[in-house]
Amino acid sequence: MILYRLACAREHAFESWFRDSAAYDGQRAAGLVTCPVCGSPDVDKALMAPALGRGARRQETEPAAAEAAPVPAAPASRPVALMSEKEQQLRAMIRAVRAHVEANSDYVGEDFATLARRMHEGEEEARAIHGEANADEVRALIEDEIEILPLPVLPDERN
């Protein structure tokens, strides 16, 4: 199926579907293609406007500004990051939390998970501690509802 945009001798424009161009030629020759406005069989293919999508067909009077306007070339880009004031405040806050925890709790290193569990079970006197735990240990502590707080690590503090 092809859609032809047609116009009669009186310039009534209309569109009509045909099986193929031969079907159009045959129907037109037989006088079967008629103008829906005036009924004239004297119709011909109108010039097709470029397909711009439904409802975007350009009017004859509209200047072709969209076609003429060159698209500005994007300057070569490179990955960059700009920390907003908010992010800098957040980093300062994270540092403050870490400093507070480190100043007010005992560093127990990799014994953290074991000690936290012993305290939770009352085998050790509860006190504030901080240290390192691997992902499995953290998951196990959380599953046992032992309250822990992961301390955020800032990118420039990793060693």
CB atoms within 10 A of CB 99: 10
Q: How far is the CB of 21 from Zn ion (least distance, A)?
A: 22
Q: Which is nearer to Zn ion, 16 or 114 (CB)?
A: 16
Interface residue list for Zn ion (CB under 5 A): 8, 10, 12, 35, 37-38, 40
Q: Which residues contact 102 (CB under 8 A, 6 or more apart)?
A: 130
Q: Which is nearer to Zn ion, 33 or 116 (CB)?
A: 33
Q: Which is nearer to Zn ion, 8 or 116 (CB)?
A: 8
Q: How far is the CB of 8 from Zn ion (least distance, A)?
A: 3
Q: How far is the CB of 44 from Zn ion (least distance, A)?
A: 11
Give the C-alpha separation, 18 to 27, whole Å: 9
Specify whether the CB–CB gap between 151 and 92 falls below 8 A: no
Q: Which two structure tokens, joined as six digits, stand for 44?
A: 């011909």
Q: How far is the CB of 20 from Zn ion (least distance, A)?
A: 24
Specify whether the CB–CB gap between 122 and 62 falls below 8 A: no
Give the pairing of strands 43-45 and 2-8: antiparallel
Which single residue is written with the structure tokens 């196990």? 140
